[in-house]
């Protein structure tokens, strides 16, 4: 459920006038005046292993026609029904109840329709285990990103990422967590898809990278020890620049690549967490994909792609309070088809889960 706090603004190059909703959990929609200092955080405890799951759920739409749905998922068209919506909810619940070994503490979702869908998912399927929920509804967008958390959320912001041609790009979610006096800042991303051509759409992903890099750069300059994680569906491989044959600039670039300083607002990725940091104006974050034996989290034309990510700031590798433990892809049988690729949802057969596999991040909590 949701409380809506007062608004604040985080300046960025894309939009200096954007106002950002700040949401905290609620017992009723009527209470609109609470502040972070009055929230009951004192009884919350942080688990010894903090787990974060990210999953593009492939267009999870409710059974209400609001006018902005994709045609396949519009009840007014007669193809999408309450029964199909319930089946998708059941499949989601199956993953959390039967596939995952344990329930993650924080869940990042991409391609959720709206607040109503998130509310039903949180209450009816997940049984209220995640009382902290965030989703910013955009009138001109059919799907959104969302965050579910069992840990306290103290602050949120929506970061505008600009346009690709005439198409408004999806905003980023910035979510702050209270870890018993330590703040963790998490970014939920769903960057421009490759629909329209991989090279042609790269500018849209670079635009999102520019905003993410700028925001993290400012945060770590204020606090170099900040706990920062960027996750979600980036629609780009961690080694995309190499995969393209280095023919053009990409939004994600391995740190070892020798590229122009004019590209410094791309996001640079390293294979050693101790190498993450600010290198002049260049921001480098650790990508677990460099060390993972998993083939990928998404498949296109029978080729695995590594486009779902967690990127970590160097504070998770300094041997202090919180440390990176593990990254994995949830690759269990129900989530895979007969070819061992993701079992995408198919409304015609009423089978499948999602065209993406969930990814999981584990963070260890040392004595603090």
For residues 17-29, one letter each, b for 16 or more C-beta atoms within 10 angstroms of the residue's C-beta and e for the rest, the string is ebebbbbbbbeee
Identify the pLDDT of residue 362: 98
Residue 351 within a domain: yes
Identify the pLDDT of residue 338: 96
Distance between CA atoms of 149 and 154, rounded to whole angstroms? 11
Residue 164 within a domain: yes
Distance between CA atoms of 180 and 185, rounded to whole angstroms? 14
In the chain, how many domains are there? 1
User: Average pLDDT in the 39-43 region?
Assistant: 41
Residue 195 within a domain: yes
Residue 44 within a domain: no
Distance between CA atoms of 281 and 288, rounded to whole angstroms? 23
Q: Which tens digits make up the pLDDT trace of 55-110?
A: 999 999 999 999 999 999 999 987 899 999 999 999 999 999 999 999 999 999 99
Chain-centre distance for alpha carbon 170: 12
Question: With bands split at pLDDT 50, 70 and 90, how would you rate the model's confidence at 148?
Answer: very high
Q: How far is CA 84 from CA 52, 106, 166, 342, in A?
A: 28, 27, 33, 19
Residue 42 within a domain: no
Residue 163 within a domain: yes
Identify the pLDDT of residue 368: 54
Question: With bands split at pLDDT 50, 70 and 90, how would you rate the model's confidence at 44?
Answer: low
- Has residue 173 got a pLDDT over 60? yes
Which structural domain, as residue segments, surrounds residue 323? 3-36+51-365
Residue 41 within a domain: no
- Has residue 26 got a pLDDT over 60? no
Indicate which CATH number applies to the domain containing 71. 3.60.10.10
Distance between CA atoms of 98 and 110, rounded to whole angstroms? 21
User: Average pLDDT in the 222-231 region?
Assistant: 96
> pTM here?
0.89
């Amino acid at each position: 459920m949701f409380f809506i706090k007062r608004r604040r603004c985080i300046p960025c190059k894309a939009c200096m006038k954007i106002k950002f909703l700040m949401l905290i959990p609620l017992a009723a929609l009527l209470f609109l005046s609470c502040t972070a200092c009055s929230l009951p955080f004192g009884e919350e405890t942080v688990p010894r292993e903090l787990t974060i799951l990210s999953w593009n759920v492939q267009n999870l739409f409710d059974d209400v026609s609001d006018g902005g749905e994709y045609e396949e998922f519009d009840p007014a068209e007669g193809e999408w029904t309450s029964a199909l919506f319930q089946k998708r909810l059941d499949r989601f619940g199956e993953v959390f109840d039967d596939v995952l070994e344990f329930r993650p503490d924080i869940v990042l979702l991409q391609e959720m329709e709206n607040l109503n869908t998130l509310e039903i998912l949180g209450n009816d399927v997940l049984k209220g285990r995640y009382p902290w929920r965030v989703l910013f509804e955009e009138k001109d967008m059919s799907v959104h990103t969302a965050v579910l958390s069992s840990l306290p959320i103290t602050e949120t912001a929506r970061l505008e990422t600009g346009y690709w041609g005439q198409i408004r790009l999806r905003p980023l979610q910035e979510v702050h967590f209270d870890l018993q006096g330590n703040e963790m800042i998490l970014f939920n991303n769903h960057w421009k898809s490759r629909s329209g051509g991989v090279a042609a759409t790269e500018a849209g992903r670079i635009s999102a990278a520019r905003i993410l890099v700028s925001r993290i750069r400012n945060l770590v300059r204020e606090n170099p020890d900040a706990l920062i994680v960027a996750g979600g569906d980036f629609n780009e491989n961690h080694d995309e620049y190499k995969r393209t044959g280095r023919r053009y600039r990409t939004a994600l670039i391995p740190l070892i690549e020798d590229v122009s300083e004019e590209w410094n607002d791309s996001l640079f990725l390293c294979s050693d967490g101790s190498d993450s940091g600010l290198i002049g104006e260049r921001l480098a974050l650790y990508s677990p994909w460099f060390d993972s034996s998993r083939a990928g989290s998404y498949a296109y034309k029978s080729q695995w792609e590594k486009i779902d990510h967690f990127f970590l700031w160097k504070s998770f590798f300094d041997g202090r309070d919180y440390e990176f433990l593990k990254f994995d892809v949830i690759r269990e049988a129900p989530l895979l088809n007969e070819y061992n690729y993701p079992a995408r949802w198919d409304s015609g057969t009423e089978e499948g889960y999602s065209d993406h596999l969930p990814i999981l991040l584990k963070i260890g909590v040392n004595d603090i």
